[in-house]
Amino acid sequence: MPMDSLEASAVDVLVIGGGNAGLCAAITARRAGARVLLLESATKHLRGGNSRHTRDIRYMHRGATEYVTGSYPEAEFWEDLRQVTGGDTNERLALQVIRSSEDLASWMQTQGVRWQKPLRGTLHLARTNLFMLGGGKAMVNAYYETALALGVKVAYQCEVRELDIRDGRFVAARGGAAEEFRARALVVAAGGFEANISWLKEYWGEAAENFVIRGTPYNQGRMLKELLRCGAKPTGNPRGCHAVALDARAPKFDGGIVTRLDSVPFGIVVNNKVERFYDEGEDFWPKRYAIWGGLIARQPDQIAYSILDAKALPCFMPSVFPPVEAGSIPELAAALALDPEKLTAVVERYNRAVRPGTFNPAVLDDCRTEGLEPPKSHWARPIDTPPFYGYPLRPGITFTYLGVAVDERARVIFQDERPAQNVFAAGEVMAGNILTQGYLAGFGLTIGAVFGRIAGQEAARCAAS
């Protein structure tokens, strides 16, 4: 976009980041009367940050509707959050998000987002979460259409590199070359740093080289770093990142939902030393989904292998890459470049330890091992029916937890505990205030939407005063 159309004096609210949170902020600020400029670092086709890869949003509601199958009250929502975070959350902000989430369904619909009824692929979250018709990119498209219709100015491929914040007051944002953006208020909604491998290396060492980044390559965390450099107070574990088990053949970036693998509970998992390292049947996969990334990240070379037989294949969602297939365990080992003798021994030991039971993937069944370390607590069946299948697994990073502290008005808090005058944050860049660890499906969007709206409202008010 040429500079003259981004006339700095004409901007009240500058929003950095064009995903869910940034768009909610831009739309809200614009509706409140502010002149808004939104900067998106990606191209138009790849806009929307990780929101492109989302599918559903968790929200508090009092009863079933056309789109959710039952109620999800505040107490239950809070309890779910408390459980996944182990109680380590900013309770005030968390409850604020939960309570404010109630009118998201209608608000988002007003912005053009459409919902879909629960279908086969969405049933396990059908009560608590609303599913966007077409998924996150469709939601992002609706937001952009609404924002542009309202008169929000949008600039693509516009990456800010430097923030000028003095005494808690935003002065200017600078891009490459001579670009400078001034505004009365700033909303930072530019996501986390999960695509920044060298930053991840600061905490994970060389292992980070073997991480797959599930989302957009644009989330470099540059704005997070700038806010911290300008004195914002950090929050959340800097080493923390949400990592799941992914097919190792996934693209390095942007593979999104399709590269995940749900095979783990239905077979065994070994590392490249052909050793099992964790109870594959500890709990339902949606609950354990989030720990396997970290588990694999701690294995040698950050790789593991899911080993299955023909019985197991129909039990989980098909994956984008076909499994490695072989007629026998030694052949499978060879195909996966594992030691055939060791894998045969591991499978035999496992098979001997399996106790008879009634296999039922819908419940925590009684198919378990005895005298095996680590045990497999549920869904343990002998791996004995050819053909045998293997999937290579890698840690796939979804998001990082490190963020900047904010108050209930979305103002960035500085290290002296004072809130910024005109700097607001929303989305992944501040989600670590609330989701400090663990994973709650669809909750990232909830935080982004609620705090995006708050940030937009507050920024508009700030700009008007």
Q: Which is nearer to another protein, 168 or 265 (CB)?
A: 265
Q: How far is the CB of 399 from another protein (least distance, A)?
A: 16
Neighbours of 245 (CB within 10 A): 29
Residue 18 is which amino acid? G
Q: Which is nearer to another protein, 7 or 145 (CB)?
A: 145
Q: How far is the CB of 20 from another protein (least distance, A)?
A: 13
Q: Which is nearer to another protein, 53 or 368 (CB)?
A: 53
Which residues form the interface with another protein (CB under 8 A)? 43, 45-46, 52-53, 55, 114, 116-117, 119-122, 131, 133-138, 141, 145, 251, 254, 256-260, 314, 317-320, 322
Q: Which of 39, 36, 55 is nearest to 47 (CA)?
A: 39
Q: How far is the CB of 333 from another protein (least distance, A)?
A: 25
Bridge-based pairing of strands 268-271 and 241-247 is unpaired
Residue 403 and residue 433 in contact, taking contact as beta carbons nearer than 8 Å: yes
Task: Calculate ∠ Cα 345-348-351, nearest 5°.
Answer: 150
Q: How far is the CB of 320 from another protein (least distance, A)?
A: 4
Q: Which is nearer to another protein, 259 or 433 (CB)?
A: 259
Residue 183 and residue 9 in contact, taking contact as beta carbons nearer than 8 Å: no
Q: Give the neighbor-by-neighbor strand order of the sheet with 115-116.
A: 56-58, 129-132, 115-116
Q: How far is the CB of 392 from another protein (least distance, A)?
A: 16
Q: How far is the CB of 378 from another protein (least distance, A)?
A: 23
Q: How far is the CB of 215 from another protein (least distance, A)?
A: 10
Q: How far is the CB of 117 from another protein (least distance, A)?
A: 7
Bridge-based pairing of strands 115-116 and 13-16 is unpaired
Q: Could you tell me where the DSSP H helices lie in 122-231?
A: 136-150, 197-204, 222-229
Q: Which of 77, 75, 76 is nearest to 58 (CA)?
A: 77
Q: Which is nearer to another protein, 43 or 110 (CB)?
A: 43
Q: Which is nearer to another protein, 259 or 299 (CB)?
A: 259
Q: How far is the CB of 254 from another protein (least distance, A)?
A: 6
Residue 328 is which amino acid? S
Q: Which is nearer to another protein, 135 or 236 (CB)?
A: 135
Q: Which is nearer to another protein, 117 or 355 (CB)?
A: 117
Q: Which is nearer to another protein, 46 or 95 (CB)?
A: 46
Q: Which is nearer to another protein, 121 or 371 (CB)?
A: 121
Question: Hey, what's the torsion of the CAs at 85, 131, 411, 156, to 10 degrees?
Answer: 130
Q: Which is nearer to another protein, 146 or 457 (CB)?
A: 146
- SS3 state of residue 415: coil
Neighbours of 59 (CB within 10 A): 26
- SS3 state of residue 66: coil
Segment (H or E) for 243? strand 241-247
Question: Hey, what's the torsion of the CAs at 276, 282, 285, 291, to 10 degrees?
Answer: -70
Q: How far is the CB of 354 from another protein (least distance, A)?
A: 26
CB-side neighbour CA atoms (13 Å) of 410? 33
DSSP 298-352: TSGGG-EEEEE-TTTGGGS---SSPPEEESSHHHHHHHTTS-HHHHHHHHHHHHH
| Cα distance between residue 456 and residue 14, in whole Å | 10
Q: Which of 228, 240, 242 is nearest to 405 (CA)?
A: 228
Q: How far is the CB of 114 from another protein (least distance, A)?
A: 5
Task: Calculate ∠ Cα 189-190-193, nearest 5°.
Answer: 135
Q: For residue 236, give every residue at least 6 positions away whose Cβ sits within 8 Å of its Cβ, in sequence order, or none.
A: 400, 401, 402, 403, 431, 432, 433, 436
Q: How far is the CB of 249 from another protein (least distance, A)?
A: 12
Q: Which is nearer to another protein, 277 or 321 (CB)?
A: 321
Structure tokens at 39: 């900067």
| Cα distance between residue 90 and residue 77, in whole Å | 15
